[in-house]
Amino acid sequence: MVSGSNTRNWQTATAASELRHASAMLHNVSQLTPLRWTRLVFSIFVFYAAALRSVLALHRTPPTDRLFTASFREMVNPGKKINLGTVVPESSGSFPYSSVQDRRENGSKNDTACSETFCEVSLLKCGLKFFDANFFNDSKVREMVKGATEFNIPIFKANRKLVASVNGGLHDPSVLVFNSEWGDETKPHGPKRFHYPSLSSIQRPDKEEDIAFMSILELGQLIRTKKITSQELTRIFLKRLKRYNRALEAVVCYTEDLALKQAKKADDFLDQGIYLGPLHGIPYGLKDIISVPQYKTTWGSKTFQNQVLNIEAWVYKRLRSAGAVLVAKLVTGSLAYDDIWFGGRTRNPWNIEEYSTGSSAGPAASTSAEVKAQIMITGLVPFAIGSETAGSISYPAARCGVTALRPTFGTVGRTGVMSISESLDKLGPFCRSATDCAIVLDTIRGKDPDDLSSRDIFLEDPFLIDITKLTVGYLEDAEMEVVRVLASKGVNMVPFKLNYTVDSVQGILNFTMDVDMLAHFDEWQRSGQDDAYEAQEQWPLELRRARMIPAVDYVQAQRARGKLIREIRESFNVDAFIGNATDWEKVCLGNLVGMPVIVVPTGFSNISNPPSGATRRRTTITTGIYAPPDHDHIALALAMAYQSVTNHHKQRPPIDNLGPNDSIPNPSTVIDNLGPNDSIPNPPTVTYPHRRLHP
């Protein structure tokens, strides 16, 4: 332990030495030797730094500021060893001087206070340039220092104590509520339920794999007619999950006990003549940011991998009341970012050589949804619930060739779900078809009393929409097969372009998402838990940058967002439009506006750098059908019309048979022969860049 008196003497002696060193350099420069003129500027800075060090020696400022002086010495005398002395421990955070009288030994109290103010003003003026606010004079900066110390910081601390001691944004939501409704139509209040098509003569397939790839309506008909029980169906999907998870790394935990209990209850209800609807007895999976009591909700992070939340998420309660059976909590990237989680990385079922990263743009939380897409396309559950803040539904659905709906913002309640951004987060279904998406959406939509952003959105019945009365635009990047098919079905297809002047769309989304995320994980960052995060270039880097976004500029970003919404609304002169679902500008724009999009598989292409010889691995091709907010039914109706005459959405990935000449071991062989501690050989070689940052 270093005493206050010794600390003061050490600091004063060090500062005096630095002053002598700087003065000597200035004296040498004054001899007008031509080569020394080049060091003049650096010497002046060193002199100033030493003077500043002298002042700080009288106060509690830590000795790390000596690095400032040392850096200038290195510039003036490159290669010369710099002795920084012994660092004084400051873990206690206590004042290093024994008394006020001890401080006065080196100068008068007034001089000390004046010097301290000078230092604070100088340091703050340097810092303000990082906020693009270095236009204040010294007098104004002194006022800012006083106001921050006496007013701001106490309020910061009080508010954090009230609402920020628990991570994840599960409690105390912001009262600043985003409403995506355009308000240009008079609509009935309350949700109008859909009328699903009835199926008849559905027979139970002989093979379990064929059962696993049936649609929700087909499985529901088998259960309703008692050709299969919910308990049988649940065991089939649990078995497939356990078999393929060895290769895909897609499951955080199995909810087997709960699933069998819920399945038995569904069968008992049927025996009593009670049928709860098309999801009665249907197994499904939840993204692991959605809370279910008694089971882990890890958020994909090693920091929270043992977390059990005694919260029933609103969406889980909706599905349970509809008779659906939860079989697994599915992987999310760590804190819903990218494809890295505490258990490893997931794979693309259409090309097992690739990691299942969401896209080349790497938007927040893409892998978590990617896992839902993997699970869907490999027939491991009939449907799954994912989320999107910035591409986490649209990107993975496109990558894995799955039909998925990102609904209008506010359609599905988010109570009990880890929050990234309260004005961007959305929950939506991953399914085998647009029809299945409509069924799941109809079940989970509605007003959540604890989610201020959720609404009872009136949607027309997508099964009753007359698409021949619709005018649908198509962008330059639209898949023209979709355009031709819809035109053949009587839809008025016209060229279209979104017109808007806001040129910072991507930056607005980054500001909004990162600042909101930091508010929900403030304690996580302050306590240093971000140091244990699985990928330091992801959330840790982004949230440190977000700490430097002033409140005024966050508000300016929301004002720019409002301008964007108004311009999109004015240019949206069609009923819907077709366009690329993974273009980063459109992903950002769609999420900022809150508009729905359904991702539709439209075909396949060969993988890049295929092996010599035959391989069944493929790259999926998809497109997006976009609609205005509160018009999800139009996007669904158009997608159902397209899928009624195509079969891209019915294809199965080659995870059991890559091809006779493919150099990668067939996953089926790998799965069957893995030991308890083995991993898949030949790890994926394809990687993708992280989220792009934009000014």
Write out the catalytic residue numbers. 287, 359, 392
Q: Which residues have C-beta within 8 Å of that of residue 317, sequence separation ≥ 6?
A: none
Residue 387: beta bridge partners?
427
Structure tokens belonging to residue 21:
């060193």
Cα–Cα distance list, 16 to 10, 13, 172, 579 (Å): 10, 5, 53, 68
SS3 650: helix
Q: Which residues have C-beta within 8 Å of that of residue 315, sequence separation ≥ 6?
A: 286, 290, 385, 412, 413, 414, 416, 417, 427, 444
Separation of CA 82 from chain center: 44
CA distance linking residue 461 with residue 491, whole number of Å? 18
Q: Which residues have C-beta within 8 Å of that of residue 105, sequence separation ≥ 6?
A: 8
Beta strands (DSSP E) in 178-319 are: 251-254, 283-287
CA distance linking residue 522 with residue 444, whole number of Å? 31
CB under 8 A, 24+ apart: contacts of 553-557: 553/131, 553/132, 553/511, 554/511, 554/512, 554/515, 557/504, 557/507, 557/508, 557/511, 557/512
CA distance linking residue 280 with residue 196, whole number of Å? 14
The answer to whether 557 touches 512, Cβ cutoff 8 Å, is yes
Return the biggest CA–CA distance within the chain.
104
SS3 523: helix
CA distance linking residue 111 with residue 92, whole number of Å? 27
If you ran DSSP here, which 8-state letter would residue 306 be given? T
CA distance linking residue 394 with residue 376, whole number of Å? 14
Report DSSP letters for 170-216, one per residue: -SS--S---------S---SS-----PPP-------SSHHHHHT--H
Among the listed residues 337, 325, 344, 333, the one whose alpha carbon sits nearest the alpha carbon of residue 384:
325
CA distance linking residue 406 with residue 594, whole number of Å? 9
